[in-house]
Amino acid sequence: MTDTPRLLFVGAGPGAPDLITVRGQNALQAADVVVYAGSLVNPALLENCKPGCEIYNSAPMTLEEITDVLIRAVNAGKSVVRLHTGDPSLYGAIREQMDILDQHAIDYAVVPGVSSFLGAAAALKAELTLPSVSQTVILTRMEGRTKVPTKENMAGLARHGASMVIFLSMSLLKALTEELLRGGYTKDTPAAIVYKATWPDEKTIHTTVGDLVDAAESHAITKTALVLVGGFLGDGYAKSKLYDADFSHGFRKADTP
C-alpha cells in the first residue's frame, strides 16, 4: 500500500456527529488544518479536532481561496481534512477542487460518507429498492443556478416510475410537482419530505406528489430537506427471494425442493 495522502476529502455524514465513518473521525482527530462546508456540516464534529487545529469554514470562501489553504497546508507538511456534508461525491463540487490540486501535484484521497439520502431513508424506515415496486433509485435535483442536462429533465426521469430522491429543490416544489405529474406519477403517488435527516430537529413528513407544496408550507420547510417519491413509500410490494422458504441460494437450501 502507498502512504495515505496528507490531504483527505472526508464525508461528514448527514448530520448526527456519530454518523461520520471511523476513518473520517480518525482523520479529523489527526488533522492540523480542517476546511469544512459550514452551510451543512454539523459543527459538533469539529469538537473532535485537536487543540491548535486551524479550522476554516468554506461557506464564505471562493474555490481558489479554498484550494490555496489546502495547497499551502499540504506543502507545509500538515495533515489536512476537507470536510464535506454527506458523501463528497454527491453535489460536493469536489472535482473542481481536485483539478486545481492536480495542477499543483498535490496528492489526496477521498473518505466516503453517509449521504443525506441514506439518512432520510433511515429516518423514514424505508426500503428504496422494494421488490415488485422499484429496483432503481434516481438521485437528482431540479435545475437551479446549476444547469441540469436537458436529457435528465425531471419529467423524463419520473417516467421510469423508479424510487426518486430529489436534492436541492425545496424552493422549486411547485415546478417539481408539475414535472413529476408530467412524467406520469399521479397526484396520489406517495412522497415524503425529510428535513435535516439525523439532526436533533429532524422532521419526516409523509405526503403525496399532489400535496408536496402544502406539506412543506404547513411545516415551514424551505431548505435542508430531501423530497422522496415513489411506490416504495406505499403499502404494496412482493417479498424478497432472499428469505423466501421456497427459494434456494448459495447460503440456504429451500424447504421444498
Measured from the CB of residue 246, what is the shortest distance to ligand SAH in angstroms?
39
> Is residue 58 within 8 Å of 38, Cβ to Cβ?
yes
Binding flag, residue 97, ligand SAH (CB under 6 A) = no
Binding flag, residue 224, ligand SAH (CB under 6 A) = yes
> Is residue 56 within 8 Å of 36, Cβ to Cβ?
yes
Dihedral angle sign, alpha carbons of residues 147, 149, 152, 153: positive
Binding flag, residue 167, ligand SAH (CB under 6 A) = yes
Binding flag, residue 120, ligand SAH (CB under 6 A) = yes
Question: Which of 53, 66, 74, 90 touches ligand SAH by CB under 6 A?
Answer: 90
> Is residue 71 within 8 Å of 101, Cβ to Cβ?
yes
- Looking up cell 427471494, which residue turns up? 241
Alpha helices in the chain, H assignment, sequence order: 22-30, 63-75, 95-103, 116-124, 154-158, 173-182, 212-218
Beta bridge partners of residue 138, listed in sequence order: 164
Binding flag, residue 116, ligand SAH (CB under 6 A) = yes
Look up residue 7 and give its DSSP letter: E
Measured from the CB of residue 14, what is the shortest distance to ligand SAH in angstroms?
4
Measured from the CB of residue 11, what is the shortest distance to ligand SAH in angstroms?
7
Of 97 and 115, CB closest to ligand SAH: 115
Question: Which of 8, 28, 40, 216 touches ligand SAH by CB under 6 A?
Answer: 40
Binding flag, residue 91, ligand SAH (CB under 6 A) = yes
Question: Which of 48, 79, 85, 177 touches ligand SAH by CB under 6 A?
Answer: 85
Binding flag, residue 119, ligand SAH (CB under 6 A) = yes
> Is residue 191 within 8 Å of 227, Cβ to Cβ?
yes
Residue with smallest beta-carbon separation from ligand SAH: 86
Binding flag, residue 197, ligand SAH (CB under 6 A) = yes
Measured from the CB of residue 226, what is the shortest distance to ligand SAH in angstroms?
4
Question: Which of 7, 15, 229, 231 touches ligand SAH by CB under 6 A?
Answer: 15
Binding flag, residue 24, ligand SAH (CB under 6 A) = no
Instruction: Give the DSSP letter string of 137-196.
Output: EEEEE--SSS---GGG-HHHHHTT--EEEEES-GGGHHHHHHHHHHTT--TTSEEEEEES
Binding flag, residue 86, ligand SAH (CB under 6 A) = yes
Query: For residue 255, how many other CB atoms are within 10 A of its CB?
Result: 10
Secondary element (H or E) of residue 11: strand 7-11
Which region among 49-57, 67-75, 111-119, 236-244 touches ligand SAH (by CB under 6 A)? 111-119
Q: Kindly list the residues in this chain that would bind ligand SAH in the complex (CB under 6 A).
A: 14-15, 40, 84-87, 90-92, 115-116, 119-120, 167-168, 194, 196-199, 224-226
